[in-house]
Amino acid sequence: MLLTIEQVNVYYDNLRALQDVSFVVGKGEIVSLIGANGAGKSTILKTISGILTPRSGKILFAGRNLVGIPQHRIVRMGISLVPEGRGIFANMTVLENLEMGAYTRASRQEVAKSIGKVYTLFPRLQERSSQPAGTLSGGEQQMLAIGRAMVARPDLVLLDEPSMGLSPLLVREIFRLIREINEEGTTILLVEQNAFMALSVAHRAYVLEAGSITLSGNASELRNDSKVRAAYLGDVME
């Protein structure tokens, strides 16, 4: 497995946010974490990326325990986080934002090649490369946040609520691009409130409730699970 989470417990002061969380992500997979607001989904991504430190448990990436490793070194090891809210630099241009994603890369030639690949994936970003990022639409800003993560050439991308605040049309476009990124070889761990879209694109999924994983399985199986349908899909399917 590329990523293995073993019995992870995370606290905010004395409040336990994650309770004995264990799951795996295989190389080449899209794995989704679904659950209500406050279930602990974003906390998991922040813990994997080094923003938070678990009180106990292991986080193994390619066999190496990430617990205690600084965030910038985790990025160098091949993990990129696309944060909730996108986290772009509004006053910098699109190109400058993408270049910020390459701070771990030494070769300018390789960086230029990676940015070119991002422009191929997101043509609208190339059209707006000299435009301040803050003037982009919500969908374009989400593309920029994903593109910035991809410039680092990660093995694993952590996506936190990529559809937040987007119109249904843009949500479909973002998820099409997520699938395309995965098909090119990048492993994705996806946190998403839109459970229907998450289960449509994922290979496997885990259901998180109150900081604990309560259900797991193939995404297609979970889409047809009566409890998941009632709790997260509104019992409405395509």
Number of domains the chain is built from:
2
- Looking at residue 189, its pLDDT comes to 98
Lowest mean pLDDT among 83-87, 96-100, 201-205: 83-87
- Mean pLDDT for 141-167 is 93
Token duo for residue 45? 């991504």
Residue 121's domain comprises 86-153
Residue 206 sits in the same domain as residue 172: yes
Residue 219 sits in the same domain as residue 115: no
- Is residue 238's pLDDT more than 60? no
* Crossing angle for the helix pair 138-151 and 108-121, to the nearest 10 degrees: 150
Strands (E), 35-182: 56-61, 64-65, 79-82, 156-160
Percentage of the chain lying above the pLDDT 70 cut: 97
Round to whole Å and give the CA distance between 5 and 101. 26
131 — phi, psi (to 5°)?
A: -90, 140
- Looking at residue 236, its pLDDT comes to 46
Predicted confidence band of residue 237 (pLDDT cuts 50, 70, 90): very low
Contact call for residues 195 and 228 (beta carbons, < 8 A): yes
- Mean pLDDT for 212-231 is 92
Residue 149 sits in the same domain as residue 159: no
- Mean pLDDT for 103-123 is 87
pTM reported for the whole predicted model? 0.92
Out of 118, 153, 188, a domain closes at 153
Instruction: Select from 26, 48, 81 the least CA-distant residue to 218.
Output: 26
Average pLDDT, the chain: 92
- Is residue 26's pLDDT more than 80? yes
